[in-house]
Every structure is written in structure tokens, then in C-alpha cells.
Amino acid sequence: MVITEQKLDQLREILQGAPKKIALLTHTNPDGDTIGAALAWRAYLERLGHTTLCIAPNRYPYFLEWMTDIGHIGVFKDDVDGIMARFIAEAEIIFCMDFNQINRLDRVTDTVTANTTALRILIDHHLHPPVDGYVLQFSDTHSCSTSYIVYQLIMALAGEESIDQAMAESMYVGIMTDTGNFSFSTLSAELFRAVAVLIERGVNVPYVNSSVYDNFSEGRMRLLGYMLNDKMVTNYKYGVAHVSLTEEEMRRFNFIQGDSEGFVNYPLSIRGIRMSAMFIQTKHSVRVSLRSRGDVDVNVFARRYFDGGGHRNAAGGRSYVSMDETLQNFHQFLGEYFGEKEG
């Protein structure tokens, strides 16, 4: 268990006393979990009397815009006046929510690393938390989501009475989106008990569900159809399917950020497919998303071949060559990875 009495005492000690300035950072390309965890934890810290600011390096996807507390997320990229940079520089405590690599925060990285005074605290579930850089770590690599760790922290520190409807909703969104709407293997009876508490605290499940999953643009739906029909390649020898999208294809379907969210999961619903890969062209590189079932370890795959990582069944990385070359390399990597495993 990552939440030990000793760590809780340390955390209580850091948070008690005079109100402090506290920054909560999300990861780049924020998802439901990093946003949900930051918002719920922020609400708890505000209740303790602290002054807080949640900062995302870039914009969160539009299917999170309906969230009750979303107005408390500041987008660093849009911060023309430098208010957020100043807040980070002056912060006494910085919470890193749902990521453990400070160097992956785009422009926020410089601001955070230039700041030497803040106590840095990690709340995260990604693999390979760094040894240094944090005075306190709540890192549970077996947890389904960071929002679930935040739930456990709040329960341990203040109990369920302290969870209001907005907090419950934030944590529920994080858990729901990071578990693929309660379908991945990280689920446990304890998690469902936690979810039951969140529902008791006011989460409207059908509303949250359809706000996230039935709220897409027409362009996204058509892009998905095009991608699955025209761009999906299956390889039953290894049980792998992959899809790819170029910038031109995304433009054709009026792509906006967040539109490809969840696309990588679709090929996994095909019988005989245990690993799915999605390649998306961006300005300077190809973004690689990987998903798998069972013991196919895409974290290892992403680390070895695509300068990335993540979890066993969900990982990502980047490729710095052209799309064509990336796909050629991918085939080679598959042979190497699965060939080596068979042998």
C-alpha cells in the first residue's frame, strides 16, 4: 500500500498551519484522470484554506468541458500574462498529478525546474516513478487511476463526508476514463466500493457517462469510420492491429484536439487481436498509442521502440521519422518483439 500512516502524517504536517500557495500540475495533453484528480485534490486543499491553482500545460479535450469544476483548470499555453508561471514560481507546494516525469511538461518544465523552493509531491500511478525530485510520493503503479489514489487520500485524511458532489464527479470521471469505462483489468472489488461511495456523494452516472462518451463531433465519428475502414491493418500472426492518421486526413474531417481519444481501443474488440497501435502525425513527430489485452506488455514495447512507456496494457511514445518509415519500423519491431517471445 502506498498510502502509509507515516506518509499521511508527513502530508498532514506539510498541509497544516498557515494557508499556503499550492500549484497542481496535470500532464501534457490532459485526459480525464489527470484533470479529475487535480480538480478533486484542489477542492480538498481549498477546503483546508490553501490558495490553489490547477495548471495544464495545454488544453484539455472538449469532452471534459461540461465538468462542474473545469473552470479551475488554467491552461499554461494560453497564459499570455505569465500569471501561471508566476504562481508556480511562488508556490510553496507543487503537486504532480498523474505523471512522474517533470521533463514532459513542455514549457511548464522550465518554470517548475527553475523553482527551487517548492516542496514537490507526487500523486501518480504510472510505472517507474523517479527516485529523486519529490519530498513525498504517493505512487501506486497498480492503481487503475490517479483519481482513485486521490479518493483514497481524501478518505484517509477527511472521510467520505468531506466529498461533495463536484469532487465525487471529478474523481468518478478520472476513474471511468482511465479504466475504459470500467472494462480494463485494473478493476477490483475495492474500486467498485469506492465508486459506490462516489455515487452516494452525488455522481449522476448516466449524465457523466453520456457527457463524456456521447458528446463527440460528427467529424470525429466520420473520421473513426474512415480510419477503421480504410486505414486499419490486421496481423493475425501476432494478434496485432494498427491504424494511422496523417495530418491531411485529420484536416479532411475537421479534426480538433481530443477527437482521436479512444480510437486506439477499437481494434482490440476484434477476435484474435491482443494488441492495438495507433500512429498519429503531429507537426514534429508521429504520436504512438498502444493498447493490449492480458499479458502482452505494451509498456515494454513503447519503452524499447518508441521512446515512451506507460502501463502494461496502455502505453504511448513517439517516432521521429516519417509516417511511412514509422510503419515500416513497426513491422520490424513486431517481428523482433513477438518472434523473440515465441523463441
Distances (CA, A) of 36 to 24, 55, 187: 12, 12, 18
Q: Minimum Å distance from CB 98 to Mn ion?
A: 4
Q: Minimum Å distance from CB 100 to Mn ion?
A: 11
Q: Minimum Å distance from CB 146 to Mn ion?
A: 5
Q: Which is nearer to Mn ion, 25 or 334 (CB)?
A: 25
Position with the least CB separation from Mn ion: 33
Q: Minimum Å distance from CB 139 to Mn ion?
A: 12
For binding to Mn ion (CB under 5 A), which residues are involved? 33, 98, 145-146, 178
Pairing, β 233-235 against β 93-97: unpaired
Q: What are phi and psi of 158, to 5 degrees?
A: -140, -10
Q: Which is nearer to Mn ion, 145 or 319 (CB)?
A: 145
Q: Minimum Å distance from CB 129 to Mn ion?
A: 13
What cell was used for 247? Answer: 495530418
Q: Which is nearer to Mn ion, 149 or 280 (CB)?
A: 149
Q: Which is nearer to Mn ion, 152 or 244 (CB)?
A: 152
The DSSP string of 212-244 is: HHS---HHHHHHHHHIIIII-EEETTTTEEEEE
Q: Which is nearer to Mn ion, 281 or 313 (CB)?
A: 313
N- to C-terminal Cα distance for the chain? 37
Long-range Cβ contact pairs of 184-188 (< 8 A, separation 24 or more): 184/144, 184/313, 184/314, 185/294, 185/313, 186/142, 186/143, 186/144, 186/145, 187/144, 188/144
Q: Which helix (H) or strand (E) holds 7?
A: helix 5-15
Q: Which is nearer to Mn ion, 208 or 240 (CB)?
A: 208
Q: Minimum Å distance from CB 343 to Mn ion?
A: 34
